[in-house]
Amino acid sequence: MTETKTKSRGGVGVPDPGPLPDVKAAISCFLSEFKGFQSDIRTRLQQQEERISMLNAKTMTRKRPALSTAAEPDLPHRKAFNAYLRSGDDDALRGLQLEEKALSSAVSAEGGYLVDPQTAERIQGVLNSAASIRAIANTVAVEATAYDVLVDHTDVGAGWATETASATETGTPLIDRISIPLHELSALPKASQRLLDDSAFDVEGWLAERIADKFARAEAAAFINGDGIDKPTGFLNHSTIDNGSWSWGSLGYVPSGKDGDFADVNPADAIVDLVYALGARYRANASFVMNSKTAGAVRKMKDADGRFLWSDGLAAGEPARLMGYPVLIAEDMPDIALGSHAIAFGDFGAGYTIAERPDLRILRDPFSAKPHVLFYATKRVGGDVSDYAAIKLLKFALT
């Protein structure tokens, strides 16, 4: 018979622990191995699920149409912004520490969040592709509330000097400052909360397209006809003067030779006069700007040898040309009418400057139009003539 060893503790005999530490070590080793086994099982299950998902995707692709072609946002700022648009949840936006090029989570004084770069670039792409002088004007990104253009439109005086005669003082150039203030351009699309809850609905793509369409139409009109009050100043809003008497501060025009139309005899001469009213240094980068109705009248014109002045682009996407210069069709240009300036010709890269802030701000409003959610989008943009010598107009008048 084996004798049990005891120890005395306070007069009471207790069994000796004996091999207890070995048991604890064995249990600890077993638990460690079991955790490794569990981890291995989870890994294998995950791999199996991924293989099944891939097979299902290949099998089901041709069986049903996709509800949405948009990729699921996988970047933190995309997920956070998407959650804000759909439900107003801005916790992720407030908490994210994002890189400079990602979505800014700071709330401005006006409220709202800045759109992430992918959405902003999509909107900008639509703006650039719209029929607007943005396509040919000088566009600058600024962080201030205005952009100043410094223009030297005079010349340094010069004179011939002899070996012994004293040099005389020559003229000094004058610098003009043209200030282009930035104005707020806004859009207010709305969607029902039920539509936003639908995961198949690409809310970012829809929002980008709606805002881009609104902004493109609004700014295209302002760059041509804007009065400068809470909007850019259009180049047609400036005073005009016969090009023979042109001076800085006005745009020069060439008459068409008939009130409200081209001249009855040699109508194409007005186009030729317009081209050569522009200085030679501007003509190399010059473009015509007119609307579709005016273009329909101009493209029928022929020169003295019976050749059309108008030629269509030879490659896809290439603009049509008039007398060898590209033509921008901008529907906000006026129609041919008495006294109208229906055709512009100039180097708009030098003659018109668009200043804008690169950020686009979105404010979600679920209260003002229940059961719809409003999205108040804003950006700041300005524009004005920056060189009065770089743009000439064709006025449909006798003189």
In the numeric block, which tokens belong to residue 60?
Answer: 């089901």
CA distances from residue 399 to 96, 223, 336 in whole angstroms, order as listed = 64, 27, 15
Alpha-carbon distance of 215 to 210, in angstroms, equals 9
Helices first, then strands: H and E counts in the chain: 10, 21
Domains of the chain: 238-351+389-395 (3.30.2320.10)
Whether 356 contacts 223, CB under 8 Å: no
Residue 277 pLDDT: 96
Residue 386 pLDDT: 93
Residue 212 pLDDT: 84
Residue 194 pLDDT: 78
Residue 64 pLDDT: 40
In the numeric block, which tokens belong to residue 75?
Answer: 């970047």
Residue 92 pLDDT: 63
> pLDDT tens digits for the chain (399 residues)?
444 455 455 455 555 555 566 666 776 776 676 666 667 666 766 766 666 555 544 444 444 433 334 444 456 666 767 676 666 666 665 655 443 333 333 444 445 666 766 677 767 777 776 678 999 999 999 988 899 988 876 665 566 766 666 666 656 667 778 899 999 999 888 888 777 777 666 777 777 788 888 888 999 999 999 999 999 999 999 999 999 999 999 999 999 999 999 999 889 999 999 999 999 999 999 999 999 999 999 999 988 778 888 988 766 667 889 999 999 999 999 999 999 999 999 999 999 999 998 888 888 888 888 888 888 888 899 999 999 999 999 999 998
Residue 366 pLDDT: 84
Alpha-carbon distance of 379 to 126, in angstroms, equals 15
Residue 149 pLDDT: 87
